[in-house]
């Protein structure tokens, strides 16, 4: 091997390592000090102990926030996938005028800040004289996640599925029957993956939830409130727990969406 | 006879297609489109001195552009976003390049998955995690003190650089992903052809690989702008309270001043900036097939 290419490899390895250290450092510190046996999540490390996880899981505000987050996450993701799937089906299976326009409208929210979506809903609530509520978080999360579910479904509704649908129609199945007995089972992995992705994004979303709720807040806002008290191992514990949940969701997505396609 | 049947079938298909698509479109129009219109109307109905809504006027806009603190916040936001875009692209490009060309194929998926791992920690917690690292009692200061590099903790958190660091950390992952996705799609034969024609590896990179990877960089850059300029959490947790960014000023209008018209003006200004960036980058982004 020439010395220059060996030098190149060494430099590449060094750069790659440096990047990984930079990227993974905060998460590593977060998780490590969630096991800190002491009042502050800073070095030196003592422990490990699980007491901060116990504290977090017996914290009522935290658990209420977790409950709300699960509710919003499941509700908004289910709605996003249903609406997104139906729209993707309509766009990919039927020829009609304004198809491009409607598709453009559906994916528009992908190109704006969440702040704008939240502000819009807040101003709307105020103009209608309504108070903030958890329902508005669901509404907002469908606005930001449905375009994503739509795009995933659209990418999966290919020619292969179309032929099977035609076969079912020739055999006398109604449109509804084709949809529920043929199309949906065929792209079920994509639907579940879309659901998981929407859920991960929803249960982590801050600004919309912050703007349109007041008392029945979601988990990220409970954490936000806790941050005002400074560094606290309990926050580390909750953060590590959320991280674990998201990773599990993503492993599910990877398994359902990508393994299938590669096979 | 046949033609009327066909026409009927076609119009039925049109209706069915619309029927499937309309619920989603209606949701977006009702809960995204209409609120934007209401917001635009609000921005034209500024509050008077007593805090009550007055008549239609452009006063809120005049007040916004006349207030140096607000204009400064816009400027801070634009500068921060620009710095973050440039630094994350510069750092992410070699990273994505090494992943795409130096790491063996079968390890690449795992390598990419690890590289975007912190992406999936909670958004609020990610900034908090940087605070753990940068705080006066944090791990960096602890290491520096124990190595005897510094005698007392140095200030790392609560300033604009900390905000930028937090942003760069997030967007390096995002940009590495879009650039990597672009790089692996470039046909390796192009590079081989360039080298057959006598180009050095450096030259073939500059003349072939790099230009072909511009769409991936553009998509990454645009996503960075959208997400960075509208972010409230990162500057609020890491940035301290000296140089405020636009989203922080917006939140202040909502929470402290209770001035929704002014907050609307600011949100529209923010959206306008994103729209201008979109128009500038539009052509390159269309070419990206990620």
Collect all residues of chain B within an 8 Å Cβ-Cβ radius of residue A127.
38, 42
Q: Which residue among A12, A86, A95 sits closest to B102, beta carbon to beta carbon?
A: A12
Q: Which residue among A86, A95, A175 sits closest to B23, beta carbon to beta carbon?
A: A86
Tokens of B13: 């298909």
Tracing tokens 């630094």 back to the chain, one arrives at: B87
Helix, coil or strand: residue B9:
helix
Q: Which among B141, B91, B279 has a CA at the least distance from the CA of A42?
A: B141
Tokens of B76: 């801070």
Tell me, yes or no, if B104 comes closer than 8 A to chain A by beta carbon.
Answer: no
Residue A192 CB-density burial (10 A; 0-12 exposed, 13-18 middle, 19+ buried) = middle
Collect all residues of chain B within an 8 Å Cβ-Cβ radius of residue A10.
none
Range of the domain at A257: 60-262
* Best to test chain B binding among A111, A114, A116 (most B CBs inside 10 Å): A116
> What is the SS3 string spanning chain A?
CCHHHHHHHHHHHHHHHHHHHHHHHHHHHHHHHHHCCCCCCCCCCCCCCCHHHHHHHCCHHHHHHHHHHHHHHHHHHHHHHHHHHHHHHHHHHCCCCCHHHHHHHHHHHHHCCHHHHHHHHHHHHHHHCCCCCHHHHHHHHHHHHHHHHHHHHHHHCCHHHHHHHHHHHHCCCCHHHHHHHHHHHHCHHHHHHHHHHHHHHHCCCCHHHHHHCCCCCCHHHHHHHHHCCCCCHHHHHHHHHHHHHHHHHHHHHHHHHHHHHHC
Tokens of A142: 């469908």
CA–CA separation, B120 and B237 (whole Å): 18
CA–CA separation, B241 and B249 (whole Å): 11
Confidence at residue B138, expressed as pLDDT on a 0 to 100 scale: 85
Confidence at residue A59, expressed as pLDDT on a 0 to 100 scale: 85
CA–CA separation, A142 and A82 (whole Å): 10
Tracing tokens 């909502």 back to the chain, one arrives at: B254
Q: Which among A118, A134, A145 has a CA at the least distance from the CA of A68?
A: A134
Residues B233, B124 contacting (CB under 8 angstroms): yes
Greatest distance between any 2 Cα atoms in chain A: 74
Helix, coil or strand: residue B53:
strand
Q: How many structural domains compose chain A?
A: 1
Residues B126, B165 contacting (CB under 8 angstroms): no
What is the torsion angle, in degrees rounded to the nearest 10, for the CA atoms of residue A41, residue A44, residue A48 and residue A51?
A: -30
Residues B32, A143 contacting (CB under 8 angstroms): yes
Helix, coil or strand: residue B193:
helix
Mean pLDDT of chain B: 88
Residue B136 CB-density burial (10 A; 0-12 exposed, 13-18 middle, 19+ buried) = middle
B254:A122 CB<8 A:
yes
* Section B55-63 average pLDDT: 84
pTM score of the predicted model:
0.87
Q: Which among A67, A30, A65, A36 has a CA at the least distance from the CA of A52?
A: A36
Residues A246, B121 contacting (CB under 8 angstroms): yes
Q: Which among A261, A144, A153, A136 has a CA at the least distance from the CA of A210?
A: A136
DSSP conformation class of B197: T
B129:A29 CB<8 A:
yes
Confidence band (pLDDT; 50, 70, 90) for B2? low
A42:B142 CB<8 A:
yes
How many residues in chain A? 263
How far is residue A213 from each of residues A64, A131, A229, B232, measured CA to CA in Å?
A: 14, 8, 21, 17
Residue at A85 is within a domain:
yes
* Section B252-258 average pLDDT: 86
Residue B126: CB partners within 8 Å, gap ≥ 6?
A: A26, B118, B166, B169, B170
- Degrees, nearest 5: CA angle B200-B204-B206: 115
Position with higher pLDDT, A116 vs B15: A116
Q: Is the pLDDT of residue B53 over 80?
A: no
Residue at A46 is within a domain:
no
Confidence at residue A263, expressed as pLDDT on a 0 to 100 scale: 43
Peptide bond connecting B169 to the previous residue in cis, omega within 30 degrees of 0: no
Tell me, yes or no, if B248 comes closer than 8 A to chain A by beta carbon.
Answer: no
Collect all residues of chain A within an 8 Å Cβ-Cβ radius of residue B231.
113, 115
* Residues 185-224 (B) with a CB less than 8 A from some CB of A: none
* Section B251-271 average pLDDT: 90
B31:A106 CB<8 A:
no
DSSP conformation class of B47: B
Confidence band (pLDDT; 50, 70, 90) for B34? very high
Q: What confidence tens digit (pLDDT) does each residue in B108-151 have?
A: 888 888 888 887 778 788 899 998 899 888 888 888 988 888 88
Q: Which residue of A has its CA nearest to B33?
A: A120
Given CATH 1.10.3720.10, say whether it is the number of domain B68-287: yes
How close, in Å, is residue B16 to chain A by CA atoms? 7
Confidence at residue A259, expressed as pLDDT on a 0 to 100 scale: 63
Confidence at residue B290, expressed as pLDDT on a 0 to 100 scale: 53
Q: What confidence tens digit (pLDDT) does each residue in B171-188 have?
A: 999 999 999 989 988 888
Tokens of A102: 């409607």
Q: What confidence tens digit (pLDDT) does each residue in B149-171 have?
A: 888 888 888 888 999 999 999 99
Collect all residues of chain B within an 8 Å Cβ-Cβ radius of residue A22.
169, 172
Distance, C-alpha B68 to centroid of its chain: 25
Render each residue's pLDDT in chain A as its tens digit; 263 residues.
Answer: 567 778 888 889 999 999 999 999 999 988 888 888 877 787 777 878 888 888 888 888 889 999 999 999 999 999 999 999 999 999 988 888 888 899 999 999 988 889 999 999 999 998 898 888 899 999 999 999 999 999 989 988 878 888 888 899 889 888 888 888 889 988 888 898 889 889 988 988 999 999 999 888 999 999 998 888 888 888 889 989 888 888 887 787 777 776 655 44
CA–CA separation, A120 and A117 (whole Å): 5
* Residues 39-58 (B) with a CB less than 8 A from some CB of A: 39, 42
Q: What is the CATH number of the domain that holds A185?
A: 1.10.3720.10
Q: Enumerate the domain spans of chain B.
A: 68-287
B29:A105 CB<8 A:
yes
Residues in a beta bridge with B53: B47
Residue at A222 is within a domain:
yes
Position with higher pLDDT, B154 vs B27: B27
């Amino acid at each position: 091997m020439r010395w220059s290419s060996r030098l190149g490899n060494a430099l590449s390895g060094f750069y790659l390592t440096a990047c990984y250290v930079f990227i993974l450092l905060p998460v590593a510190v977060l998780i490590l000090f969630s096991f800190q046996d002491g009042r502050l999540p800073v070095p030196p490390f003592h422990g490990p102990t699980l007491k901060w996880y116990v504290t977090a899981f017996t914290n009522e505000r935290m658990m209420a926030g977790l409950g709300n987050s699960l509710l919003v996450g499941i509700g908004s993701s289910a709605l996003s996938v249903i609406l997104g799937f139906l729209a993707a089906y309509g766009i990919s299976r039927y020829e009609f005028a304004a198809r491009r326009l409607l598709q453009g409208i559906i994916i528009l929210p992908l190109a704006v800040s969440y702040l704008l979506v939240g502000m819009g809903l807040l101003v709307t609530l105020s103009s209608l004289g309504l108070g903030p509520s958890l329902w508005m978080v669901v509404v907002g999360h469908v606005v930001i996640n449905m375009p994503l579910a739509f795009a995933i479904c659209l990418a999966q509704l290919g020619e292969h599925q179309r032929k099977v649908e035609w076969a079912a129609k020739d055999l006398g199945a109604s449109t509804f029957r084709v949809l529920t007995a043929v199309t949906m089972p065929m792209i079920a992995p994509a639907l579940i993956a879309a659901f998981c992705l929407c859920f991960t994004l929803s249960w982590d979303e801050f600004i919309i939830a912050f703007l349109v709720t007041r008392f029945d807040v979601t988990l990220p806002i409970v954490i936000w409130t806790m941050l005002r008290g400074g560094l606290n191992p309990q926050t580390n514990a909750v953060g590590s727990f959320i991280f674990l949940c998201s990773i599990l969701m993503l492993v599910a997505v990877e398994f359902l969406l990508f393994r299938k396609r590669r096979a | 006879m046949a033609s009327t049947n066909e026409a009927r079938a076609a119009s039925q298909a049109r209706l069915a297609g619309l029927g499937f698509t309309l619920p989603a479109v209606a949701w977006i129009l009702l809960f995204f489109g209409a609120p934007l219109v209401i917001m635009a109307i609000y921005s034209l109905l500024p509050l008077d001195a007593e805090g009550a809504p007055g008549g239609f006027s452009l006063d809120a806009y005049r007040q916004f552009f006349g207030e140096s603190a607000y204009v400064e916040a816009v400027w801070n936001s634009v500068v921060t976003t620009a710095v973050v875009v440039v630094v994350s692209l510069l750092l992410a490009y070699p990273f994505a390049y090494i992943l795409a060309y130096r790491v063996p194929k079968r390890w690449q998926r795992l390598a990419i998955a690890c590289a975007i791992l912190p992406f999936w920690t909670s958004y609020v917690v990610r900034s908090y995690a940087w605070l753990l690292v940068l705080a006066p009692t944090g791990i960096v200061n602890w290491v520096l003190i124990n190595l005897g590099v510094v005698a007392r903790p140095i200030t790392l958190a609560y300033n604009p650089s900390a905000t930028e660091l937090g942003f760069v950390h997030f967007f390096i992952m995002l940009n590495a992903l879009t650039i990597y996705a672009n790089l692996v799609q470039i046909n390796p034969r192009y590079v081989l052809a360039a080298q057959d024609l006598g180009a050095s590896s450096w030259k073939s990179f500059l003349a072939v690989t790099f230009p072909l990877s511009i769409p991936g960089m553009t998509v990454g850059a645009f996503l960075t702008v959208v997400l960075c300029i509208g972010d409230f959490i990162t500057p609020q947790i890491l940035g301290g309270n000296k140089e405020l960014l636009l989203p922080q000023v917006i939140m202040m209008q909502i929470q402290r001043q209770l001035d929704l018209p002014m907050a609307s003006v600011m949100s529209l200004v923010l959206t306008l900036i994103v729209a201008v960036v979109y128009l500038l980058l539009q052509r390159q982004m269309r070419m990206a097939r990620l």
